[in-house]
Amino acid sequence: MADKADPPVCRIMDYGKFKYEQSQRAKESRKKATHVLVKEMKYRPKIGPGDFATKTRKVEAFLGDGSKVKVTIMFRGREMQHPELGRRILDNVAEAVSHVGRVEVYPKQDGRNMIMVLVPGQATRKQREAAADRREADQALTVEEPTTEAEMAEEPTVEEQTPEDVAPEESTTEPTSA
């Protein structure tokens, strides 16, 4: 409606319906907003290599799905005297997942815990899978049947012979002495 119209223009409407439509629009805008999940993975300073690898694979999966990951090192007792052990583990995690994500919040001490936050860096897993599917579909359209050397050896080859290529047959019979 025009604010400054002369004479003023007004509209008769149902106020309850107006409020309902407003709330529906607000709900739609909230639904369209992206919600970033923050997953957490906890490590200990004396973690073994097998457990480290398992937890790091899980962190890669979280980052691949597009979630942020909060990596926590939990210290107990005398472990608090050696924060460099925790930092070393966090650095190893960051290096191991550098192809999928990057560090957003660098390692910092928070009470008995040391925390680092990782975010998805490059393309997420869904985007990579979609790109791979497109590539496979393109290749399926353009790929012909490959022939291997073994298949070619099995196939009989027919060559045309010209009269020059064929030598006249000589008799191989030996004269017999009688």
CATH of the domain at 93: 3.30.110.10
Q: Cβ neighbours of residue 75 under 8 Å, at least 6 residues apart?
A: 45, 83, 86, 112, 113, 114
In a domain, 21, yes or no: no
User: For residue range 60-111, what is the model confidence (pLDDT) as tens digits?
Assistant: 999 988 889 999 999 999 999 999 999 999 999 999 998 988 999 999 998 9
In a domain, 115, yes or no: yes
Binning pLDDT at 50, 70 and 90, where does residue 24 land? very high
**Confidence check: pLDDT of 148 > 60:** no
In a domain, 14, yes or no: no
Per-residue pLDDT at 86: 92
Give the H/E segment covering residue 69: strand 68-74
How confident is the model over 45-70, as a mean pLDDT?
92
In the chain, how many domains are there? 1
Edge-to-edge strands, sheet with 38-43: 38-43, 68-74, 113-120, 101-110
In a domain, 26, yes or no: no
Domain extent, residue 65, equals: 38-125
List the single range of 2-11, 38-47, 159-168 with lowest mean pLDDT.
Answer: 159-168
In a domain, 64, yes or no: yes
Residue 114 burial by Cβ neighbours in a 10 Å radius (0-12, 13-18, 19+): buried
**Confidence check: pLDDT of 123 > 90:** no
In a domain, 117, yes or no: yes
Per-residue pLDDT at 30: 85
In a domain, 74, yes or no: yes
In a domain, 67, yes or no: yes
